[in-house]
Amino acid sequence: MRVLYFAKVREIIGLPEENIDLPSNIQTVEDFLDYLISKENKYDLALSNKEAIHIACDEDHVDKDFVLKNTKEIAIFPPVTGG
Amino acid sequence: MRVLYFAKVREIIGLPEENIDLPSNIQTVEDFLDYLISKENKYDLALSNKEAIHIACDEDHVDKDFVLKNTKEIAIFPPVTGG
Amino acid sequence: MITVKIQKEKFNPQKILKNAEKGKEYGALVSFIGSVRGETNNGKVKKLFIEHYKNMAEKIIYKTALNAEKKWNLDYCYIIHRYGTLKAGESIVMVITCSKHRKEAYAANEYIIDWLKINAPFWKKEIFENQSKWVEQTL
Amino acid sequence: MITVKIQKEKFNPQKILKNAEKGKEYGALVSFIGSVRGETNNGKVKKLFIEHYKNMAEKIIYKTALNAEKKWNLDYCYIIHRYGTLKAGESIVMVITCSKHRKEAYAANEYIIDWLKINAPFWKKEIFENQSKWVEQTL
């Protein structure tokens, strides 16, 4: 799965995107975030405040209970501040 | 007193302005309108539907019970349609 | 800063916008342009004639701008309104409001137009091919 | 007619306004321009950096315009948003909405900006003399 990071999340994790193979026990966005957080300190730093993390799957905003079954691209970012 | 007419009122009365000496028994705008209406047919035609007639005295919108005591200029017109 | 103009001549919305933007650091700029529609309920409009009560119109529009400036803390307010004979597509009125935040600029802009439509002494007459008709107030 | 542009380059609000007015007979045109403020709560802004998620931003803005067009019966809708590094005073976003009557043009314009601020994937970072700071969402 292609994983994109933006803004502060990108800065803390230190890269704009990476490919991550989804472990078989991961179903939802929430599972995936927990997986990342447990993987390495930088993910913990960037993502542990889940209230402040928004998710888009294949370019649509989704909730944390969204099931990642056919997702090709997941984007992880802070609340948007455009306009 | 200088009397100004605008739009449809001006067209029916047939002139943009005139000077009219205020008879001493006239106090309010309402009195003045009634005086004009009784004066000549063209005023009756232009002003008898009082709901559709608005008044400004010395460039301020006023109600029909406004007292004309120091008024120098009275304007009589239909509801405005600018903007 | 408030500017009010009432004129017979055409105005150039691009130039007016450019001037509003000069040295701007206000964050939000809202502009409204009202134009002569080519078609109304009464048919195809050839021309629009706008009559006005000059001194009172200036006074009312300026007062409206002043109220809006105070209420919404505007940094800039520009109002221009034409009178005379206009063709379809020509601009009748333009209102620009600028402020730090967008909510204020929108609210002030709409307030000015709403207020102007109810109070400013202008009257429109639509001129069709074979007739003409004073526009009725719709609020 | 809907146009959506997301670009790094500066845009010219006067030109965009002029194009919107071409052949116009819509009655009401509302435009909004959001610019980089020179001063915020955190001090004097030197530059503003805007990051974005390209494909998703285009998709969301277009969908927002489409919703607005349908809901308020717009005749014309133009949205442009910049990304990259901007200086104080430069325009970030411009939205033009046109319709027969003013209420629709105002409502649609404000809806688009409100929706864009909540949903379009752009992130602003203010760059000051000695520090920089990601802007926090304020709704």
pLDDT per residue over A1-58, tens digit each?
999 999 999 999 999 999 999 999 999 999 999 999 999 999 999 999 999 999 999 9
**Which CATH number is B35's domain given?**
3.10.20.30
Q: Both tokens of residue C111? A: 């307030």
Q: Quick check: D112 contacting A, CB < 8 Å?
A: no
- Alpha-helical (H) ranges within chain C are 13-21, 54-72, 102-119
Q: D82, D10 in Cβ contact below 8 A? A: yes
Question: Per the structure, how many domains does chain A have?
Answer: 1
User: Under DSSP, is residue C56 helix (H, G, I), strand (E, B) or coil?
Assistant: helix
Q: Quick check: C52 contacting B, CB < 8 Å?
A: yes
For chain D, the domains span: 2-127
Q: What residues have CB less than 8 Å from A70, skipping those under 6 apart?
A: none
Query: Does ipTM surpass 0.90 in this model?
Result: yes
Q: What whole-number distance in Å separates Cα of residue C122 and Cα of residue C120? A: 6
Using a threshold of 3 CB pairs under 8 A, tell whether chains C and D touch: yes
* B82 domain residue, yes or no: no
Q: C134, C124 in Cβ contact below 8 A? A: yes
pLDDT per position as a tens digit, C21-62 = 986 778 999 999 999 998 888 889 999 999 999 999 999 999
Mention the CATH class of domain D2-127.
alpha beta
Closest residue of C to D14, CA-based?
Answer: C14
Using a threshold of 3 CB pairs under 8 A, tell whether chains B and A touch: no
Beta bridge partners of B74: B3, B57
Q: Give the pLDDT of residue A39.
A: 95
- Across the C:D interface, residue pairs with CB atoms under 8 Å apart total 95
Can you give the pLDDT of all 139 residues of chain D as single tens digits? Answer: 899 999 999 999 999 999 999 867 789 999 999 999 988 888 899 999 999 999 999 999 999 999 999 999 999 999 999 999 999 999 999 999 999 999 999 999 999 999 999 999 999 999 999 899 999 987 6
Q: What whole-number distance in Å separates Cα of residue C20 and Cα of residue C3? A: 10
* Residue among C13, C37, C100 minimizing CB distance to D17: C13
Taking the whole predicted model, whether its pTM rises above 0.90 is answered as yes
Residue C125: other Cβ atoms inside 10 A: 18
Q: Quick check: C136 contacting B, CB < 8 Å?
A: yes
* A26 domain residue, yes or no: yes
Q: A16, D51 in Cβ contact below 8 A? A: no
* A82 domain residue, yes or no: no
Range of the domain at B23: 2-77
Q: Quick check: C40 contacting D, CB < 8 Å?
A: no
Percentage of the residues of chain C whose pLDDT score is greater than 70 = 98
pLDDT per position as a tens digit, B12-21 = 999 999 999 9
Q: Give the pLDDT of residue D23.
A: 67
Chain D residues closer than 8 Å to C88 by CB = 25
